[in-house]
Amino acid sequence: MTNQSKKPWGGVFDGATDPRVEKFTESVSFDHRLYAQDVRGSVAHAHMLAAIGVLTQGECQKIVAGLEQIAKEIADGSFVFRQELEDVHMNIEHALIEQIGDVGRKLHTGRSRNDQVSTDFRLWIRDAIDRLQEKIIELQRAYVWRCAQDEGVVLPGYTHMQRAQPVLANHYWLAYCEKFQRDLERLVDCRKRVNQLPLGTAALAGTTIAIDRQMVADELGFEGVVANSLDSSSDRDFAIEFAFALTLVAEHLSTWAEEWILWATCEFGFLRLPQAFCTGSSIMPQKINPDVLELIRGKTARVVGNLQSLLVLVKGLPLAYNRDLQEDKPRVFDSADTVEACVELASAVVTGAELNRKTISEKLDRGYLDATTLMEHLIGLGIPQRSAHEIIGQLVATAIKQNVPLADLPLEEFQSAHAALDEKVYEVLGVQRAIEAFASYGSTAPDQVAQQVAAWRKRLL
């Protein structure tokens, strides 16, 4: 015979819960992280119950004082969470009743754990979004800070991991500012849907008590109230959308990390990583391993996996609350923690790294980065793009055979390729001249990049 404990909420049950079930169904081991949000929501709910006459002002004050004391005990580590009470909500409510007696039993009037957990979770995600936004802005500032350090540096741009065209280093840094700006905008947009109050929709159908949901929404800073109680009880769109936004942040970080891992190799030699964010080898004394970047890349897999888990979790659920939804929080908590830590470390790595300007410059004439600029020079002379493409391709083939840059080919080679090519061809050849030839909005043209850098500085610094 196993030891069994009495259900803390009583109700229709006349027996006790098998301790194996208690262990299997508990969520307090992870949802205790919602304690501050649970207390905030309960305080607002108590204020509303007092306003509609369910609680006296004296009872409300006792409840609020009790909740604040419990929050203090949890914060300082003296509060003992009990597994048999299942979750953070029951642990706090049970402690409140033990502290202030039957008055505490009135707090749950007009609500259910279903709408309570959704409220707590929305508050937690809202707080997480606000924190992450600040960290992403700091990462953008790190990239903009680099622009002053790397003014005028030219990098080889790649497609298919093959050298393609030259780009200014500042153009590269601002590319990531743009990516993370979209991430910020997604988080802002997600926050609008997170910031709707479910409290008061109760278990699934609402309540017969004339509660004032808007009052609670106003106190908790929600922009509105959820309109349909059935939808409210089953909705986890807000959590999945947040997880999706986190996944894109992680994907962008992973792309950056992969590039910098390559750039820091001897084969590329473009970058010196800050040693405080690298590790050594247990056997090879010369190694400076980019472990932080590798882990940022690796942890992205966890974030992607969490999103997939959430999507699968809700795919077959009918309307209203189902216990499956208990499994949403570990995935969201993990993704939020992971991305927040990755963004914070990324900022430090970005500001601490140095470009190997000499190595980059010495290799810039490799890969015929000025070929496309030369092709567009031909287009400017009235030659159709497809014809110009073929002509320059033949010139590149000649340069490859001679093992020289395009700029080192004699004029006779250009004129034999097309009669329209004269000595002015040398005015567009070479990496620096190719950079200066760019003209379109959003390109790596020096004046365009300077304008964008100025705009980002004004926005961020």
Question: What's the CATH number where 386 sits?
Answer: 1.10.40.30
Residues 319 and 172 in one domain: yes
CB 19 within 8 A of CB 2: yes
The span from the CA of 108 to the CA of 93, in Å, is 8
pLDDT value of residue 3: 47
Asked whether residue 395 is domain-assigned, the answer is yes
Closest listed residue to residue 126, CA positions, set 56, 64, 41:
41
> CA-based angle 228:34:16, to the nearest 5?
85
Residues 125 and 78 in one domain: no
- What's the domain range around 394? 371-460
SS (H, E, C) 171-206: HHHHHHHHHHHHHHHHHHHHHHHHCEECCCCCCCCC
Residues 205 and 325 in one domain: yes
Residues 76 and 42 in one domain: yes
Tokens matching residue 153? 């540096």
In this predicted model, what pLDDT tens digit does every residue of 89-134 receive, in sequence order? 999 999 999 999 999 999 999 999 999 999 999 999 999 999 999 9
Asked whether residue 11 is domain-assigned, the answer is no
**Chain mean position to CA 171:** 22
Q: How many CA atoms lie within 13 A of 246 on its CB side?
A: 36
- Is pLDDT of 15 > 90? no
Our count of domains for the chain comes to 3
Residues 218 and 241 in one domain: yes
Residues 240 and 338 in one domain: yes
The span from the CA of 168 to the CA of 5, in Å, is 68
The helix or strand, by DSSP H or E, that contains position 56, with its residue range, turns out to be none
Q: Which of 362, 379, 397 is the last residue of a domain?
A: 362
**Residue 5 β-bridge partners:** 17
For the annotated catalytic residues, the residue numbers are 160, 281
One-letter identity of residue 457: R
In this predicted model, what pLDDT tens digit does every residue of 174-233 receive, in sequence order? 999 999 999 999 999 999 999 999 999 999 999 999 999 999 999 999 999 999 999 999
DSSP-derived secondary structure for 143-164: HHHHHHHTTT-EEEEEETTEEE
Asked whether residue 9 is domain-assigned, the answer is no
Residues 145 and 93 in one domain: no
The span from the CA of 114 to the CA of 323, in Å, is 10
Give the CA distances from residue 247 to residues 32, 238, 251, in Å, rounded to whole numbers and listed in that order. Answer: 24, 14, 6
Q: What is the mean pLDDT of residues 257-270?
A: 97
Asked whether residue 318 is domain-assigned, the answer is yes
CB 266 within 8 A of CB 323: no
In this predicted model, what pLDDT tens digit does every residue of 95-104 receive, in sequence order? 999 999 999 9
Residues 289 and 415 in one domain: no
- The CATH number linked to 197 is 1.20.200.10
Residues 358 and 380 in one domain: no
Residues 133 and 273 in one domain: yes
pLDDT value of residue 5: 54
Q: What is the mean pLDDT of residues 396-401?
A: 97
Residues 200 and 79 in one domain: no
Q: Which of 362, 396, 429 is the last residue of a domain?
A: 362
In this predicted model, what pLDDT tens digit does every residue of 423-449 receive, in sequence order? 999 999 999 999 999 999 999 999 999
Mean pLDDT over each residue of the chain, to the nearest integer: 96
Residues 170 and 291 in one domain: yes
